[in-house]
């Protein structure tokens, strides 16, 4: 297993894209200096979108591009066409830059629906999709993943995510049960699953064969207790540090890694410690996260 990081650990978040506090060269330089071997693309336009330039910038730092995150509001059937175009655009950049083993990481258009954003970690049945909405959602995921495979030959994984319509374990179960296992894999995120109410170790018995890509994120139960008691929104939770540094929360990473190894997982582990601009030193946190993983034998 190889260790990567992602721009979101430097505050480059898809729902906070109006302000960038770090240039991509600084982020890549820091990843390389720490010892990471790969990265995800980040928001479109954060890194170069000219294939040759992107390839050269990563090669100069001996980094591999392992995935590109593409959010799509799948519950809106009229957004499927634009979502398909965006995913294929991302996939074309990956392939033309020479990263034909990378994944398109699909997700809902998170932090855009008020009731899901305001009730993060406290989702009730009335916040969930109807059967008709699920039909639309699944059709969109299949449409996008099929086009990515047919046009660019890349595989697609779906990233469950808090403040989106696939947050809770039962919502992820529905998505996995209704999507084609040959077409759509799972990008499993330990922190988002924990925040959504699940135990990350349970995923192996439920959907272990669908895990094609992994995001490592920790979860602070003390911050979470305040979220539940004080009705914080998703942005408030992130700002208060619900996704803490690896090893400082309650995700059992040694046990999770042991499960990955027992199943011969040979893909990437992507460290993601979602932060908002101004929250401490991303470099120092990324360094401690890397050192933690090394200390437990990754």
Report the residue count for the chain.
Answer: 298
Dist. CA 150–CA 89, nearest whole Å:
13
Decide if pLDDT at 128 tops 50: yes
Dist. CA 43–CA 64, nearest whole Å:
17
- The pTM assigned to this predicted structure is 0.96
Dist. CA 292–CA 63, nearest whole Å:
20
Decide if pLDDT at 139 tops 90: yes
Decide if pLDDT at 19 tops 70: no
The pLDDT, as a whole number, for residue 12 is 85
The pLDDT, as a whole number, for residue 217 is 97
Residue 71, helix vs strand vs coil: strand
Tokens (6 digits) for 113: 């629906």
pLDDT digits (tens, 9 = 90+) for 176-213: 999 999 999 999 999 999 999 999 999 999 999 999 99
Dist. CA 233–CA 235, nearest whole Å:
6
Selection from 192, 195, 214 nearest residue 204 by Cα: 214
Decide if pLDDT at 20 tops 50: yes
Residue range 72-89: mean pLDDT, rounded: 98
Selection from 246, 255, 192 nearest residue 224 by Cα: 192
Integer angstrom CA distances of residue 208 from 3, 191, 213, 277? 20, 17, 11, 34
More confidently predicted of 143 and 11: 143
Dist. CA 238–CA 220, nearest whole Å:
11
Residue range 140-163: mean pLDDT, rounded: 98
The pLDDT, as a whole number, for residue 120 is 94
69: left (phi over 0), alpha (psi -120 to 50) or beta: beta
Task: Give the long-range contacts of residues 21-24, CB within 8 A, separation 24 or more.
Answer: 21/277, 21/278, 22/282, 24/48, 24/57
The pLDDT, as a whole number, for residue 279 is 67
Q: Across all residues in the chain, what is the average pLDDT?
A: 94
Q: How confident is the model at residue 40 (pLDDT cuts 50, 70, 90)?
A: very high
Angle subtended at Cα 182 by Cα 178 and Cα 184, rounded to the nearest 5 degrees: 60
**Span of 11-15, 36-40, 238-242 with lowest mean pLDDT:** 11-15
The pLDDT, as a whole number, for residue 17 is 46
The pLDDT, as a whole number, for residue 167 is 98
pLDDT digits (tens, 9 = 90+) for 243-279: 999 999 999 999 999 999 999 999 999 999 887 666 6
């Amino acid at each position: 297993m190889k260790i990567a990081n992602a721009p979101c650990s430097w505050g480059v978040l898809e729902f906070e894209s109006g302000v960038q506090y770090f240039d991509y060269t600084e982020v890549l330089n820091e990843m390389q200096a720490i010892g990471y071997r790969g990265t995800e693309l980040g928001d479109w336009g954060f890194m170069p979108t000219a294939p040759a330039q992107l390839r050269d910038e990563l090669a100069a730092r001996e980094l591999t591009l392992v995935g590109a995150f593409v959010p799509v509001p799948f519950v809106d059937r009229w957004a499927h066409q634009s979502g398909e175009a965006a995913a294929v655009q991302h996939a074309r950049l990956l392939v033309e830059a020479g990263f034909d083993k990378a994944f398109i990481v699909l997700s809902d258009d998170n932090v855009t629906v008020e009731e899901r954003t305001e009730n993060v970690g406290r989702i009730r049945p009335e916040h969930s999709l109807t059967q008709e909405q699920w039909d639309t959602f699944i059709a969109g995921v299949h449409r996008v993943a099929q086009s990515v495979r047919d046009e660019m030959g890349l595989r697609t994984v779906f990233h469950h995510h808090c403040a989106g319509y696939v947050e809770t374990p039962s919502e992820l179960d529905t998505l996995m049960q209704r999507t084609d296992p040959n077409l759509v894999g799972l990008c499993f995120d330990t922190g988002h699953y924990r925040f959504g109410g699940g135990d990350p170790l349970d995923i192996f018995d439920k959907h272990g064969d669908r895990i094609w890509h992994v995001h490592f994120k920790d979860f602070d139960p003390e911050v979470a207790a305040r979220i539940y008691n004080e009705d914080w929104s998703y942005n408030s939770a992130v700002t208060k540090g619900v996704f803490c540094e690896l090893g400082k929360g309650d995700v059992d990473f040694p046990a999770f890694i042991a499960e990955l190894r027992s199943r011969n997982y040979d893909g990437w582990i992507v460290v993601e410690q979602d932060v908002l601009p101004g929250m401490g030193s991303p470099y120092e946190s990324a360094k401690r996260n890397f050192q933690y993983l090394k200390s437990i034998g990754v």
